[in-house]
Structure 1
Amino acid sequence: MENTATTATIPDEIKGWNWGAFSFTYLWGIGNRTYLPLFALIPVFSIIWAFVCGFKGNRWAWQNGDYQDVASFKQVQATWNRAGVWAFAVNVLVSILVIIYFQLLITNLGHPFY
């Protein structure tokens, strides 16, 4: 069977958001042999670049990967997507807890915590 991953066309089935590329940027890039996500190592720029990786991740992985068909591509990226969604959810939860903690700390300044 011909390796369709090397062709210039991107199948419609794989277009869309990639949570793995968004959440794990450069790690996802190394794992998928696409190195543009390494730009996420640049401070501040990494925030913007994470969104670019989320939008372009499937395209980059398809073009640089060694996938025999769309099904094998989707199977690999499904694992990255599950991990990416969990990582994003944990980061949001931790951020909310930190904000609540510091809000409580600020409102109780000058008062002992006992």
Structure 2
Amino acid sequence: MRNHLKSSRSNKHIFCAHCGTQNPANDYACSRCGERLAKSKTDSSSNIEYVSCHQCQDTNDARSQYCWTCGCEMSESIPVASTSNIQATATSNNQAGDSASTSPNNLTHPPSNQVDSQQSLNAGTQKQAPHTTEEIPLQNTSGKSNGEIPHGVKRWNWAAFLMPAVWGLFSGVPFTGLLFAAAFLPSNAQLLIMIAASLFLGYKGNELAWRGKKWRSVEHFNSFQQQWTSWSIRLSAVIGVILVIFIFSQTGG
């Protein structure tokens, strides 16, 4: 392949882009190879790609093998973007940016970097936030006349039902001692008073005992009442057996 020296830029000569032969500027075709002679200029309405000559920096068709201005071989040409390509690229980028910003997915789903930042912020806030879901221990309201009755205390009391007078003296319900005075009343009155007192104290005994005496805790209160229930059942069973024996002995006599 022939090497061509750089010539001065003038309108008198033009080099063939196909074979590099110098021809008069007014010729239509190359005198050596017969290819059409044409000057390469960037055209905004054309889709042809252009390159820049590394010697004279003039613009040539990317398909040219030789520069039309200086005749230098285009082996080290530099790509040149045409005006139409630049405008098309800019328009495409703008449309892509607009579609991305107005996409429904982008409106409902923020960018991943924003999501990561928000998640990190939320994680830090959760670590710094104090724990508010811990159970607060119940206040001991025993021994107060208007103290709140815990849920574990509201139940039937068998000790107060079976032995109301004695149970009340040890459980903080001292007025039950008045039941001993019923012994001086007629038998019918004694029976009615004892039945009414037993039913009332069996139902309300725990509440009266909780407010009438200071207890260490609900567990302590329930343990005390269970112990008295055990004693009252045993004592009632013994008294019942004695009464049955007494009745049979009187009937047999």
Q: When the two structures are superposed, what TM-score results if normalisation uses the length of structure 2?
A: 0.37
Q: How far apart, in 2, do the equivalents of 1:54 and 1:91 lie?
A: 19
Give the Cα separation in 2 of the matches to 1:62 and 1:25: 15
Aligned residues of 2:157 and 2:202 also touching (Cα < 8 A): yes
Is the counterpart of residue 28 in structure 1 residue 176 in structure 2?
Answer: no
More helix by share: 1
Inter-partner Cα distance in structure 2 for 1:17 and 1:88? 17
What's the RMSD between the two structures over aligned residues?
2.1
In 1, the alpha carbon distance for the partners of 2:180 and 2:236 equals 18
The separation in 2 between residues aligned to 1:63 and 1:11, in whole angstroms, is: 11
Residue of structure 1 equivalent to 2:208: 60
Alignment of 1:4-43 (within 5 A): 4-5=141-142, 6=144, 8-43=147-182
Distance in 2 between the 1:91 and 1:24 partners? 12
Correspondence 1:1-114 to 2 at 5 A: 2-5=139-142, 6=144, 8-43=147-182, 44=190, 45-105=193-253
Within 1, Cα distance between the matches of 2:176 and 2:194? 9
Is the CA contact 1:37–1:53 (under 8 Å) kept in the aligned structure 2?
no
Task: Name the % identity.
Answer: 25
Q: Contact 1:67 / 1:73 at 8 angstroms: preserved in 2?
A: yes
Q: Which residue of 2 aligns with 1:108?
A: none
Partner AA of 1:73 in structure 2: F
Q: Which digits, 9 at most, give the CA deviation of each residue in 1:13-39, with x for residues without a partner?
A: 222222322333232222122123123
8 Å Cα contact 2:172-2:209 kept in structure 1: yes
- Please list every run of 5 or more consecutive structure 2 residues that lacks an aligned counterpart in the other structure: 1-136, 183-189
Q: State the 1:86 CA deviation.
A: 0.8
Gaps of 5+ in 1: 106-114
Q: 1:50 to 1:39 in 2, by over 3 A?
A: farther
Which structure shows the bigger proportion of residues in strand conformation?
2
Q: Which has the higher contact order (CA 8 A, sep 6+)?
A: 1
